[in-house]
Structure 1
Amino acid sequence: MTVLAPTTAEETRPPGAPAPGRPRRGGRAPLAALLLAGPFALLLLGTVLVPIGYALYLSLFTERLSGLGFDGPHDVFVWLGNYADVLGDGAFRDSVGNVAGYALVHVPLMLGIALVLALLLDSATVRLRQVWSLAVFLPYVVPGVIAGLIWAYLYSPNIGPLQDLLPWDPLGGNGVLPSLVTITTWQWTGYNMIIFYTALRTVPRDVLEAARVDGAGPLRTAWSVKVPTIRPTIFVALVFTVIGSLQLFTEPLVLRSFTGSVTSTWTPSLYVYEEAFISNDYGRAAAASMLLALASALLSALVMRLSARRSR
């Protein structure tokens, strides 16, 4: 009687077929990866890298008249001269201070309200969740210009009802900052609330049930279980809110038509707009834009580093 040896996968594999468990080299995978990453690379190049590079190029030049000036202005390479002029300009420093004060009030206030509303919507005691979430989210749908006009008329001393109700002059020198914070908080709270509420829906239900079994109440569960679980989402929202605060432009631009307390350089974005399209000094405008972009990148990196440290 002849005993047949068991056949292996190597013996039964057809000639030329790849070995099992080994990836095929030089196949279509690199080509597919390039095709999938190509559109993103083109968009990144055309909408981010090229504009940043062109702005950096413009920031190194300025226009000056040569001779008697009959030939018109010429581009002159000034190296870091535009950056020194922007940093030495008191109007730019004041705009940075205004935005810093605005961010210190707006960022924690808006994110705190959004988080509390999201926790309330996620709790089992709130009824008509869709109605409440839609009501809070609706201000985000209103364009920034329209929202600024609505609040500007509400703040107006002659026709606005808020002039006598608020403890400060909403269009005065000391009241413009809280007025802007009110506008942007009203507009962006619903957007961040939806983000937080969506993240809260992903918290494992068995973890919440275990917390209830251990005797944790709703407040303790929200603070000790839900908030730590969605901490990465909170930090991402914090990064975008900080960047948006540095780019504050539409709301103060609208309020300029209603009050003289908002100057043409009240924020860095307004300063860039003034230098580029009013003074036609594109070099200084590009330098201010690069400084604003650098500040946004540094603050974003700082927040993400703090987020990674807290996660560890």
Structure 2
Amino acid sequence: MYDFSADIADCAKAVEAALARQLDAAPLSGPGPAPARLIQAMRHGSLEGGKRLRPLLVRQAAAIFNIPAAQALTAGLAVEMIHCYSLVHDDLPAMDNDDLRRGRPTVHKAYDDATAILAGDALLTHAFGLLADPACHPDAAVRIALVAELATGSGAGGMVGGQMRDIEGEAGGLSPDEISTMQAMKTGALIRASVRMGALLGGADARALSVLTLYAELAGRAFQLADDILDVTATAETMGKATGKDAALGKQTLVATLGLEGARTRLNQTVNEALSTLRTFGPKADGLRATVRYFASREN
């Protein structure tokens, strides 16, 4: 019987321990010694917090193809480093200008803007080093496919491009479809990459990869809808970061265009669509089912 609480807790524990090992002087150094202050800032932006949902999706998708969790960990770490770098940069004064993340000062507040930029840069760079390491997967062709997948999901047509569209949207005038496109890039693309990377680790055929891609796109949409709803309904204490900022900054969200109840209805529809895509995989996809349900029910 699948136990989501045990799975998410085990994944978070494994990711935390592995990140702590990776974000240290020896793994980060070469050809010169990694500066201590930079390492400390990278650790501040990555450790002791977060639900590690993206590595969880990597391992859950890989599990469909009987890949043990330990064999999906390195790819999951790479995705998590990308996610952490994006948060460090998003919090900067030039972007979302946030002082709190996971209930504590953001990296630029704990250190300074320049150190935060460099910490994000280093996390981004080392993520791809992890994927290139034979420890990630013995087959170089699979490792190359993973690198390409993460680059696509996090680049100009994915997460970074979505952030650009989000900034442009502050001027207003985005239609619901344009908002969906922006969110599919800013948030959904890395969730999509996580699921697809798990499938690539498992040697998924074209049909299975296509089905899981559809699931991932719907799951990403559900995650962002829930996030937008929480920005309106949750407290800063519950969220561990400032809330109500979307409206204050003029951010374009589906809550703003559909209303709170309309957004909740859309969220339920999206979760049900995501669940329906997984029929073909039977009980092996129970992890992915539980995660998309969790996206909709989370309180922070």
- TM exceeds 0.5? no
* Higher RCO (CA < 8 A, seq sep 6+): 1
Larger Rg: 1
**TM-score normalised by length of structure 1:** 0.28
Greater fraction of residues in helix: 2
Normalised to the residue count of structure 2, the TM-score between the two structures is 0.29
